[in-house]
Structures are given as C-alpha cells and as structure tokens.
Amino acid sequence: MPEGFYILNLLGYAGAVLFYGRFYLQWIVSERKGKSVVPVAFWYMSGAGSVLLLLYGVFYLNSPVGAMSHCFNSIIYARNLVHIWRADGKLSDRHSRLFHGAVACLVTAGSFLVLLTLLREFQATRGHAFQDQARNWIWIGVGVLGQGLFALRFLVQWIVTEIKRQSTIPPVFWYLSVAASLLLISSHAQRQEWLYAVGISTTLFVYLRNIYWVRRGAGGSAKE
C-alpha cells in the first residue's frame, strides 16, 4: 500500500477521534452541569473532524455515504461558531466575511468530491450482476436516508439558533440522532466501512443520555 494511503488512514482515525469524541466531551460537560449542554469545543471538533473524515471517505474508502456525511454539515458548525463569536464580541464584519467565504469554498470543493465518489462507485459496480448492484445502491440509499436525518437534526438546530440568535440544541435533535445513527451504522457495516460504523456506534449512549437529561427537563443550551 502506498505511503499516501497510510497517511489517509491515520487522518481518518484522527478525524474519528475528534468527530465522534466530541459527543463524549459534551457528555462529560453535561454530567458535570447536571443538564444537557454543548461546550464551544464541540463545534471546533465537529469542523476539524468532519474535514478529515471527508478526505478519508473520498480518497481512502471511496465511500459515497461517508463523503456525503461530512460535506454539507460544515455550514451548520460554522454558523454556530459565528453566533458564539458574536455573542462574545470576537467577530468583526471583515472576519465574518472571510470566514463565510472560506466555508463556502470548503463546501463547494466537498460537493465535487461527493460527486466523484458517486461516479467511482458507479464505474466500480456497473459490471456486477443486477442483483448485486441493486443491493449495493439500496444500502447506499439507507445511508443517505440516515444522513438526511442527521442533516435534518442540524437544520432544526440551525433554525432554532437563527431564531433565538443564540447557539441552541432543541430536544428533537437527540431523537433524530438516534434514528439516523441506526440507519448509518447499518449502511456502513454492510459495506464494511468499519471506522464510520464503529465511530457512530460509540455515540449512541451519549444521545440516549442527553434524552434522559432532556426528559428530566434540564437541557437546551449549546454553549458552556
């Protein structure tokens, strides 16, 4: 295996530690506070981990679901950071424009990479039996549905945040997280994309724990 693939593999594991580990940081902070809260570091870990897992999914695994999972969500992470920085008085108009421009470039590049993985997948499987092709694309569809729910949770969170002008996590976020995780775990496991499957599996407990805090009536803040 070329050296570049070893580097991509290491980047993938580093991304997994950041991206999936963010919810363990959130869990620890929530346990200490006695309510469901999300620390600022959560959003930094989200952005950095997502970029690394995008590169891993495209150039190491050629995973359409993995690539799609870590492309468009950068917008949500960025907007939460913007609201946090503004609330702290740390964001000028110039820096805001530069940051939004950088995020737009990242998402545009990521979109092309997602299309690249889909094209590669089509070329790699078009010679297979129809039944095998159908099974493969059905499982990709399951993953896309799961990612759609993951995106929906952050879309809802983004809308609530924009309305309140404060980074906020609504209770439905955690319920959507559980449903999306089960779908994505199934898709990645069937395709033997174990870094994604195991990584997502490790976050299920944290989602359920946050649901516990929410049902106790202690949750909602996304900045601590």
pLDDT tops 90 at residue 139: yes
Provide the pLDDT for residue 171. Answer: 87
pLDDT tops 60 at residue 112: yes
b/e map 53-88, b = 16+ CB within 10 Å: bbbbbbbbbbbbbbbbbbbbbbbbbbbbbbbbbeee
Least confident of 43-47, 73-77, 116-120, 164-168: 164-168
pLDDT digits (tens, 9 = 90+) for 89-100: 888 888 999 999
pTM summary value: 0.81
Tokens representing residue 189 in the block: 């496991």
The C-alpha atoms of residue 91 and residue 220 are separated, in whole angstroms, by 24
pLDDT tops 90 at residue 136: yes
The residue-averaged pLDDT of 153-164 equals 85
Provide the pLDDT for residue 57. Answer: 93
pLDDT digits (tens, 9 = 90+) for 120-130: 999 999 989 99
Return the higher-pLDDT residue of 221 and 63.
63
pLDDT digits (tens, 9 = 90+) for 190-213: 999 999 999 999 999 989 988 888
The C-alpha atoms of residue 116 and residue 118 are separated, in whole angstroms, by 5
**Contact between residue 19 and residue 53 where contact means Cβ atoms under 8 Å apart:** yes
The C-alpha atoms of residue 213 and residue 171 are separated, in whole angstroms, by 10
